[in-house]
Chains A and B, each alone.
Chain A
Amino acid sequence: MLSEALQYSRAAVNAGEWWRFATASFVHWSFNQLLWDGIAFIALGYAAWRLSRTRFVVAFAASALAIPICIHLFARNVTTYRGLSGVDSALFVLVAMLIGKRARIVLLLFAAKIGFELATGTTLFVHELAPGVASLPMAHVIGAAIGLLAQLRLQRPQLLGQSGNGVLESLHAYGEWFSA
């Protein structure tokens, strides 16, 4: 099956099938998973594209690649991975950051969900995508971090009204944004 050929598979990657890092996010375990991930991706992708094409491309490409790579490196008990929700998480955070204050409550709710998943090691509403296949909170956390970095790292200094250099200043701005 095509899904099996494109999913992340630890054994296949170990055997040299590196392309699976790039394709894993685009195959799914079930129609249900594809439906919800797909709806979110279309909506968030459209919004991100309209708001900042560069950041969309960076967040999209970086999260699609980084999530399977991080799973390979740090989640050694996971043997296979499929799904777009990590990419969705990256786009969610990116769009929320781009919108600004109006998205604060939504972003806080999203952060709370991610925090719960991180603390408990399980996703809030979806536990099993197929027999023996669990939802991975780690994918959402990595995605959210990439979305945040895509916005902060590509933030033009003049937008912040500062001449500073990079992430530290951006994080400072991020703190101000949150406390506003």
Chain B
Amino acid sequence: MKRILFLLALAALFAIRAHAAGTLTPKTATQQPIQIVSHEVNVVIDNGFARTEVVQVFHNPNDKAVEAVYSFPVPKSASLSEITIWSGDREMNGEVVAADDAKKAYTEERDAGNDAGLGECSCNKKKDDVEFGSYKFSIARVAPSADTKIRFVYYQPLTIDTGVGRYVYPLEEGGTDEAAKSFWMRNATVEQRFALNVELKSAWPVDDVRVTGADNDAKITKVAEGHYKVAIDRQHGDLSHDFVLYYRLAENLPGRAEMIAYKPSASATGTFMLVVTPGIDLKPITRGADYVFVLDVSGSMQGKLATLAHGVAETMKQMETGDRFRIVTFSNDANDITRGFIDANPQTVQEWTDKVAALQPQSGTNIYAGLELAIKNLNNDRATSVILVTDGVANEGIIDPKEFRKLLQSNDVRVFGFVMGNNANWPLMRTIADSSGGFYSAVSNNDDIIGQILLAKSKITSEALHGATLKISGVNVSDTTGTVVGKVYRGQQLVIFGRYAKGGRAHVTLDAKLTGADKSYATQFDFPDTDTANPELERLWALAMTEDVTAREYAGMLPETEAENAIRDLGIKYQLVTDYTSMLVLSDGDFTKRGIERNNKQRIDLEHAAQVQRANAAPQSARVDSAQPMFNAPAPSVGHGGGGAFDPFTVLLTLMLIVAALAGTRQC
């Protein structure tokens, strides 16, 4: 018996370790796996976006040169922008070219025994040799018994949700790509140093910073108001757990509009990122509501079901008297396990919490079947929210996003998606959320689950703006993303990217409906004619455009070939690794030999110069509506406010007590 338990424990351990960032070795290979000697991550969060730099040293323990392959999950909305490889004294840098061209050039160099590298992505499209939702880095030749260093950098916009910022360095693989799992053997062990350093710069005061899952390990230092440093430094480590950092802004900050722009000269096209944090009094919805939990119990949820059960239990505990719930599970097909709606009370919540905790993973992922069953037999007189919890990769039944859109648009229901793991099909989740006017958010096994639920709950149970659109006039803007907002939930920030030809005074208006009444929030401010502080904005804008193109493709509004061409063009022009573009890493001489232009090198030079300038500066406010505030109310904050509350039951007890006291007085 002990032996069986030991083997089960070992199997569980292996299952967890198998789903991690790490070096990959074909399972059929006879060589020893490439070792990760050290792994260092440096993050700067400033001006609404994060720059993440990863420096990693590999060691080849074999007595012959081998190819090193490293894989890690694609962070949400990340633009991989730099790869540098050091092999001995030789430094090689990356240039983004069309994916097929990059692969061909890399294979030729590798087969010729030359040094070369390749960074590929299976971001939204399945590929045969790259795990879905992952970056794959290949180094053609790691010399026997020698070390090779690789460094890569990516940028991603970060939003503040209800006053809380969240940064995730994803390491835990989703385990959703069965073909990749069966082909590769993964080594996630860091033999020597694992270090993670975050510098957080906020122009707004920060009340608290925390690292979930590593509260005791992370050294958090407050440098100045709004300026923090977080450091984790370990000897040995593994790459199987996400790093999740939360920072909470001070309460009662104003609703606001903030903008940063990049325009290298008066004649050049400018790029802007406008972040609107609405300060609107969205009141709580107090009437009873129906909630349908649609839970993914597919095989790839192995290792995540405990987190799922925990999350569902906490959500159900938040229900009010008058609320009802129903639970649908899905794998290959869907099952209504509650057989209809159940009134929420402490007994039913406990009973079904226990049942959810006992769910077992099974085969495929048929999200469509789960949603289809969830929206059957709803009561039209009650507001219904569908809470979809999945790892986000549909591989059974209907998987065409257009069919999801059709299904959800034909029913008056909002779907709120909680995506577990790092290999989700983000465009599909976006299609599901957008089609129903809901939202989706990622949940890591290392997340503050209760915090995430409270954030979601405050959105679901508060009024929302409807039909929101953001208009910019006065300045000729183009290629904007995020201006057709739809619903705006409590605490939600709006992020708008765009281009503009000439600086000047802009009028910005957010129009929407609130409980049937028209609302308009307006301000005006200047777009600069030149601003060179944030050249990275061009890449962030280009990535937002690729996401927009993908969303339109998924909604059936853009043919696949057009979407592919548009993404490839953006990827090459703005040097982003996408499904259709890869980063080829060669020596300067080899780039010249192959006639590949050094566009990325020029961008990197500009970006590095700007980063040096910013590194020495205090956090800069990007608020642009101070003179004419766009909102009158403060921005909502998570508040973790507490209060003492006597309810009618306790007041009744009080009255009984007083009656007892008075009776005693009379007796005396």
Q: List chain A residues, Cβ under 8 A from B458.
A: 131-132
Chain A nearest CB from B54 CB (Å) reads 31
Q: Which 3 A-B pairs have the closest CB atoms?
A: A85-B644, A83-B644, A133-B641
Q: A44-B654, A79-B251, A106-B656 are in contact. Are A123 and B642 (CB under 8 A)?
A: no
Complexed CA–CA distance, A80 and B642 (Å): 6
Q: Are A40 and B646 in contact (CB under 8 A)?
A: yes
Q: Are B657 and A80 in contact (CB under 8 A)?
A: no
Chain A nearest CB from B220 CB (Å) reads 13
Could you tell me which residues of chain A, from 1 to 52, have a CB within 8 Å of some CB in chain B?
A: 4, 9-11, 25, 28-29, 33, 36-37, 39-40, 43-44, 47, 50-51
8 Å CB contact of B490 from A50, A75, A131: A131
Q: Are B643 and A133 in contact (CB under 8 A)?
A: yes
Contact with A along B296-332 (1 / 0, CB 8 A): 0000000000000000000001101100000000000
Q: Are A87 and B647 in contact (CB under 8 A)?
A: no
Residue B16 at the A interface, CB < 8 A? no
Which B residues form the contact surface with A (CB < 8 A)? 162, 205, 207-208, 248, 250-252, 282-284, 317-318, 320-321, 346, 454, 458, 461-462, 490, 636-651, 653-658, 660-661, 663-665
Q: List chain A residues, Cβ under 8 A from B651.
A: 36, 39-40
Contact with B along A92-105 (1 / 0, CB 8 A): 10011011101100
Contact with B along A59-97 (1 / 0, CB 8 A): 000000001000100010111111111111100100110
Closest to A122 in B: B317
Chain B nearest CB from A46 CB (Å) reads 8
Q: Are A133 and B644 in contact (CB under 8 A)?
A: no
The size class of the interface chain A forms with chain B is 35 or more
Q: List chain B residues, Cβ under 8 A from A43.
A: 654-655, 658
Q: Are A9 and B320 in contact (CB under 8 A)?
A: no
In the complex, which of the residues B248, B283, B454, B651 has the most CB atoms of chain A within 10 Å of its own CB atom? B651
Complexed CA–CA distance, A49 and B282 (Å): 42
Complexed CA–CA distance, A84 and B643 (Å): 8
Q: Are A132 and B640 in contact (CB under 8 A)?
A: yes
Given contacts A129-B641, A132-B637, 5 further A-B contacts (CB under 8 A): A79-B207, A80-B251, A81-B643, A135-B643, A135-B644
Complexed CA–CA distance, A88 and B643 (Å): 13
Q: From DSSP, what is the main secondary structure of chain A's interface residues?
A: helix
Residue A174 at the B interface, CB < 8 A? no
Complexed CA–CA distance, A85 and B654 (Å): 12
Interchain residue pairs with CB less than 8 A apart (6): A36-B645, A37-B645, A39-B654, A67-B644, A107-B657, A131-B284
Q: List chain B residues, Cβ under 8 A from A86.
A: 644
Closest to A98 in B: B661
Q: List chain A residues, Cβ under 8 A from B641.
A: 29, 78-82, 129-130, 132-134
Complexed CA–CA distance, A44 and B661 (Å): 10
Q: A80-B251, A132-B640 are in contact. Are A125 and B647 (CB under 8 A)?
A: yes
Q: Are A132 and B317 in contact (CB under 8 A)?
A: no
Q: List chain B residues, Cβ under 8 A from A40.
A: 646, 650-651, 654
